[in-house]
Structure 1
């Protein structure tokens, strides 16, 4: 509006710059609230009248037309500002509901479960929704701690509903079944009943017992990473590949349990494919193995905060898929366990 004022005075009435005053309330309606838009519109009308009289356009058709144009744009800007505020309030309400739904679906995991320190990082691909198709849970039972990290095929509300079914079945079975294979069997039965069509869920189910043994069952999910206290890193690949939950393939056996030691100072990183398949602008996948030194932090929360920040920096924008990270750090009660220094070495 100021530029229009200077240009109109300099150029004179023959150029016809007076209607450009309407740009003020037009942009105010897009960026400001109703009060600000009304104020800018009032100033625009006053400026239009002043310039019109200065240029000798009043009374006359050109001056009247310009004044009507400014008044019309101001009215339209007010309507746009009111509508935008209403939609912003609705979006805030939806986000609040989504946050509640996330707390119900993906409940906060305990920071300490038995002798394990636990941390989770989760980012939905649809930022406005705050929730997506990735899932995780940590459950303590009389024999130790059980964990699941999974990824539902697809996105949207259907994926969220499927994730809720998976978590509900896992929470019940993890408490009741004495063996991890029993949890797996009940989970498969539940998924066969609830999943329809071509929907499926990849998942890793893990169990850590007080005797420092660890058991993993992998249903077509990215292999977890075991970081040893000595600085080594190893992918825990399943011996026999198993299809994801819900495919309902006749004659398919359950995955072969993968067992091993989980000693003081060790860390187990479980994640979804949204992490390792995140790409930068050149199409390069996120180099998770090269970033494992970020996990050498004082707490699991800080470790995942660093890793998540590096992941976002790698993509230089929104993630293309949901990304979940769950870190287990073995730390017996009453014993200080220091981290390792330097870059972890990937063992075979």
Structure 2
């Protein structure tokens, strides 16, 4: 009951929700004999042992290294219903390279432990199936990566993507959309997952000292859901953004060179711009610098916009990463202070009909 009422109050306040996930010790860390400096006080508090003593951070939920993918998704999946109901929803993951973001969002390579993205695909169509007598729901998606300050369409070949220009624009309801990107329809979770796999095959990935397969770009998936109510003819337009941010990092630590150094600089520049936006929003400054980077433009409706937003901050438990862990937790604390104004995107039967026949934008 406590959790139910807490969720209700947070939704009413419009606060961005922040979940913290602590990954297990990696094999190299264990072999080196690194000390564990992160612990959970309870399901809302995390403690970090630093050279200057203990620091405590509080979030909406803490997931320890033992937490399963199912547990993590359990607290996430009610947001999927909100997207189908016509809300703008964003779920994104942040953390240093090798902190477990992609495991949280995508899962392992074998898909024995799928993450939030594939579980979301399944959940969307489960909800659709449960409501097929009352609603007709259409699903479509786009998939982009922001690589070296350039937006690339992952639904086309890399060569074709390089020659395409994608622009981020906002519609009248304040929703960000990718003008020029391929949008594909999906009639099942399997179709949506196949599109996702096709997109992943076109992503930029490289090995770093921190991670065997490190994402060198930010991944942005937009899932649009149009839901028509058979009873009263109203139409709801929901958008679900799933964002797997590239790792924040120091080049010296990851061993980045040449092209990888350029990639790292681009990643850090975009994350710094995101930090500026978060800082402006959390301190309620009159000007928010969304236009400084394509990443902040892409997330403009998710941070300080009209979305129900959930951030995962992924951290390492090892003493060798204490600086990055503290930086990530401070960043996430700022995000938690941001208020959004989530509103349902819905048209009446008459307006929906006019749109269909081309009478309205």
If the length of structure 2 is used for normalisation, what is the TM-score? 0.28
Q: Which has the higher helix share?
A: 1
Q: If each structure's strand is expressed as a fraction of its own residues, which one has the higher value?
A: 2
Point out the structure with max Rg over C-alpha.
1
